[in-house]
Chains A and B, each alone.
Chain A
């Protein structure tokens, strides 16, 4: 039973470029949340996808967008990259909805913006 898988593991981009990160949820999970974790900080909620719709969004600009596919996998897109976007991007999956669901995290994508 595969857990949450993310790709790529590491990525180096330059300012102004665009990036796409991918996530496959744990088997049986249909909800995907994305988090940004800067070095030494706690994960910051970007948004959550359920039934292919963005269900909730954190305090991130429109440069951050996402998508969920019918197989529940998800993508995070970031446009016009800034140096401050350098961080570990974590994908977490859970069973449908509910505020009592625990999250299963992937190993993350380490994004460096130069």
Chain B
């Protein structure tokens, strides 16, 4: 079945440093979504990418969808303590309505 993998599993950064998490799918995705889960919280939708090679920005966050629609990345510029949490990518395959989540990257920011 479809598998979605993320690296790294954990990342410690100093406040102000940049952060990137990478997402890879075993199959081609119809779209990729990103969610953020704060400690003790639930996943909250951040963004969706649909087109091959698409790039979207939200303030300091930049999201990319690969040309083959099998990989994606999230880059945060100049991290802040409010960025702390676990970032999940999730994708729909070309058949079915099942959104498959990656294992997440836990971001910790030292002030």
Contacts and interface: CB of A to CB of B under 8 A. Distances in A.
Interface string A15-47: 000000000000000000101000011111100
Given A99-B30, A100-B31, A44 B41 contact: no
Nearest to A33: B99
Contacts, number: 60
Interface string B72-111: 0000000000000000100011001111111110100000
B97 A56 contact: yes
Main secondary structure of the interface of A (DSSP, over half): loop
The range of chain B's interface size is 20 to 34
B42 interface: yes
Interface residues of A, number: 26
B95 to A, nearest CB: 9
Contact of A45 (B42, B43, B88, B98): B98
